[in-house]
Structure 1
Amino acid sequence: MEGDADIARTAALFADPARVRVLLALGDGRALAASVLAAEAGLSAQGVSAHLAKLRAAGLVVAEKSGRHRFYRLAGPDTAELLETLARFSPSQPVTSLREGTRAEALRTARTCYDHLAGRLGVAVTSALLAKGALAGAPDTRRRPGDRISAPLREHPYTLGPDAEAVFGALGVDLHATAAGRRPLLKFCLDWSEQRHHLAGALGAAVATRFVEAGWVQRRAKAHRALRLTPAGARALETHLGVADLAA
């Protein structure tokens, strides 16, 4: 027989700032080497190894071998969702330098939430897809009464719209191929920084992949979730989705 879930034991893993930085570095779903994670968290090789061992034992992180090298990634989207939820309930860290302020603003402007777009960019894309008829449902993406804070919505009011194939096709996303996979096509998260819905699921991942491959967004740093909208991306947003206010 088993008792209640040992929440305190799992929560203790998030009590170490360096360990949280390791998890955040993996928050976009990529697999990173321990050396990269050590640099991101400001740890020695021995220190990051100790943290990774605890995270692996808890099932939050998994390791993959490639040749002689070992890479680490989050165990799945549930871990990323947990990080997003904790971020919503957590106070902001004091900004003590220009670098920290720039980084915080970058995360709120555009970032990845596991493998899909989040921040102001993510919610703007989702709102534009609704306006263009690629998605149908709610008139806007603001948080509704009953929505769980910063978490995937179990039930959401969005479906594919009448112009979904044309709009996603213009963006370079193959809707039929994306829908053919095992992953749910449509999911939505409540963005922790914007308190609005952004597109997740297989379709959200396909859109984010397209943005990266087309050079419309670029990662700001090797182990950082923040994205930078490129001039080509700003033009694509305005041309295909009518979004012009993010160009600045």
Structure 2
Amino acid sequence: MRYIYLLIILTCFSCNNERVLYLPEIEKAEVTEVLDVSPAYIFYDETQADSTLLNRKNLIITTNWLVNVDKRLTLKQAIPHIKFMQDKKRNAEMHKNEDAKNYFTCNDTSIGNLGFLEFTDVFYEFSEPIDTSINLQDLVAEKLKNNQASTSTFLEIPLDITNNNKDKIQQELQSYIELLALSTSISEDMVINGYAIDLYFEGRMSFQDYISVKSKLSKIKSDKIIITNNEFIY
């Protein structure tokens, strides 16, 4: 308990300067305890050009990383720092620990304590927005036409997540599953087993909303849906 209390204090203070960091909130986190850790902080700081201030001087390559991101930041502000730290760890040549993981620190409101969301294997990239004018059925048909699928496969599908649809993502994925029943009408020789979902996030989405979406997606238990490790920010 003393360790947890100390960690909460550290999320609010850094380098002997008082800085308030508002952790994103989560419910029923799958991970509530992480040992052998070192922290990093991405503060919301309006005095900086990009409104962020990164403190990573206490990070140790061989430990599990707890990355504390202020929930008010947008993805365009926070992700470059997160990607920078990931690349440092992945490209380390000495003292590397393959078992060390990366977590976002959150406030788990269901238990009144800290919860953690792992992102070790996530690969962030910046990209152009996806074309949302093509509906899913047309996209599936296009992939089949271009021989981008075998006779029994998971189709790789982009999922656009914005401030406007972030609360409906679970329903949208359910509609994907329902479409599987129509796959034979698209191609008699094709059996679509499910979808591998690449996530595309609107860059102006807050880090709080990002964590909320990621938490919901982590709770989807379906053999028809695979959330890939590819996340694109536009």
TM-score of the alignment, normalized to the shorter chain, above 0.5: no
Query: Hey, which of these two has a bigger chunk of helix by percent?
Result: 1
Decide which structure has the larger Cα Rg and report it. Answer: 2
Structure with the bigger RCO (C-alpha within 8 Å, sep 6+) is: 2
TM-score (norm 1): 0.29
